[in-house]
Each structure stands twice: as C-alpha cells, then as structure tokens.
Amino acid sequence: MVRHKKDNFARGGKKFNNPRPRVPRGDEEEVDGATSSRPPYKAACWDMGHCDPKRCSGKRLMKLGLMRELHIGQRHPGVIVSPNAKRIISPADKDIMEQHGAAVVECSWMRVKEVPWSRIGGKCERLLPYLIAANTVNYGKPWRLNCVEALAACFAICRRLEWAEDLLRHFSYGPSFLEINKELLARYAACETEEDVKRTEEEWLTKIEREYEDSRIDGGDDVWTKGNTNRLPARTSDDEDEESGDEEDDDKDPFAISDDSEDEEQMAEIRRKILNSKSFKNPEEEEKQQPEKISRPEQLYVDSDAESGSGGSEDEAFDNIINATTVTDRTGIKAIQQRKAIETLSGSFSRAEISAPKKA
C-alpha cells in the first residue's frame, strides 16, 4: 500500500473536518431550528438572480432550509404561482399543493419580460387574486407580492393558514401582511371553486371603489383629507378684501338690473370725466421751439483817411483814381521772367589739342 503525503495516516497528523457554512448574524438560531425539524410543506422556486441578496426573501428561505431551488428547464408538479398563468388559485387546488407543494418565480417585477416562461412552470400554474403587499420594497401596492408573501397567500387560500404563519414568522413584515389581508384571505378560503374566488374579488374591488367615492363626497371638510395643513398657503389681505367684496356684491342685485335713472346719469357723468381725463386723451405732440435765426452782421470797411482826419476834395479824387486802377502782381511777373531767363541760357565748349614734349 502506497501512502501519499497528503493522507492523514501519519502519527500525529492533523485531521480537518468539513468547514461549517457561514451564516449571517441573527440567522444562526433560525437555521438551527429550521434544520432540526423538517417543515410540513414543500416549497420551491426558480431564482432569476434579479433581486438584491440582502433583501431577497427567496434566498433567505433557501438559507433557512425552508425552500429548495429549481433549475431553468426543470418542471414542477405542484401549484405554481406565476404572473403568466391563466387561472386563479382556489381551495380546489389544495390536494395538489399538499401532495407536491408550491413553487414561485424569484424575479423582479420590473424585469418580468426577461423570464424564460417557456422553460419553467408546470401543469398547475395559478394566479393570485387581489392582495396588498407588506414588504419593504412594495409596501401598500396591490398584486406586488414577493416570494414569501406569494407562498403564504397560496397556503392561506388553500386553507393552510398555519403554514403561512410558519413561513412569515422569519420576516419582520410577515405579521403585517396577514393583518392587512386577514379579512380578504378568510373570504378566499371560504370559497370552493375558481369562479367563487373571482366573484369574491370583484365584490371586494367594487366595495373599495364605492367607499372611495363616498369618502370624496362626505369628507370634503375632513381635515384628514386635506393633507398637511401646516403647508397651506398663507391668506393675504388682498384675498380677504376680495372675499368681502364678493359678499357685498352678493347682497346686491345679482343681475345688475336697476330702473333708477339717477344712477344712469351718475354713471354717464363718471364715464365722461374718465374719458376727458389726461390718461384717456390722445397724446399731442408738443411743438418744439425753433431756434431764432440771427443774421450775420455785415462788416463795414473803415476808411483810413477818414480815421486820420485828413480830407480834401483833390485827395479824394486822386484816391478814387488809384482805387479804380488794376492792381498787378509784380512779384509773380518777376518770377516768370527769371524762369524764362534760365531756360534761354546756353553754354559753349572749346577743344584744344596739346602735344607732349619729346625727350631729348
């Protein structure tokens, strides 16, 4: 016999037992109590993995050993609570449930279309009637039950209320679910066939609708139907003035019919004054004042001789002759003459050849 070094046959060798599965705190006592005695019911589910493991009621039931998991493609012979079913559950399904148990689909209500319904289910698929959820995710919503609530409702309708109580005692909202739907579950359990359950559901919905309409009619002044009264808008003085004005108008003639001619004359006078007031007149363009035109003063030429005091008839005659003669520009004439003189200047050049002296 050949011994391997990993075998624990050596003297003093350590022997290791199988590790104990880890259980969340607070669930150890429940797991020990659940595994010590087998539950009287059979529960199963198809887990789609949509939900949060910390909030998933189906995963918690499987940890407690109260429900087993089914694989995709595996059929179940018992009662299957499914939103894809065509018939409603009734006490007539009690025998099948007691023999084969019940199964649910663990999925999110927002992702129901992703479930492969053709690969799961069975022959006895059933719908749940009107019930109100009490779980922390869909509290107060009708038909929005989670796994444990659906199984408990299935057991209670099939007249196994003790099974429902045993399932729900592991959840904080379990007693609330039974308390909210106590009367309705009792009515469903008192039925015999599927038609009776449908009729009971319709009667209950009609009752709820009627109570709602009555509360709207009779509870108009009920303080509980007005919401938070601390957040109502504050009343202003303008609103009070309008209300007082409305009361005064109500005391008067509602149709404003009066035969008094004095009132008509007063109204005509008031209308005339209003129309003649400044705000109703057509605006007239004010004439802008045009600036005055000031004529340019004429310059008077002062005679220098008159200022000097010199005068005489002969001098005045001579001055008149001088003033009448044409004034020539001597400076311009000289410039032209100089330019012409420059242009007429000419130069002459001479050439002489001188031979160099020869050497002796």
* Binding site listing for S-adenosyl-L-methionine: 57, 105, 128, 143
**What is d(CA 113, CA 111) in angstroms, rounded to the nearest whole number?**
5
Is the CB of residue 108 less than 8 Å from the CB of residue 96?
no
**Run of H or E including 105:** strand 102-106
Closest Cα to residue 176, out of 131, 207, 211? Answer: 131
Q: Measured between alpha carbons, how far is 59 from 42 in angstroms, rounded to an integer?
A: 16
Q: How many Å from the N-terminal Cα to the C-terminal Cα in the chain? A: 153
Q: At what angle do helices 147-157 and 182-189 cross, to 10 degrees?
A: 50
State the DSSP H helix or E strand holding residue 103, giving kind and residue range, or none if neither. Answer: strand 102-106
Numbered residues of the known binding site:
57, 105, 128, 143
State how far the Cα of 95 lies from the Cα of 334, in Å rounded to an integer: 149
Looking at residue 332, the DSSP 8-state letter turns out to be H
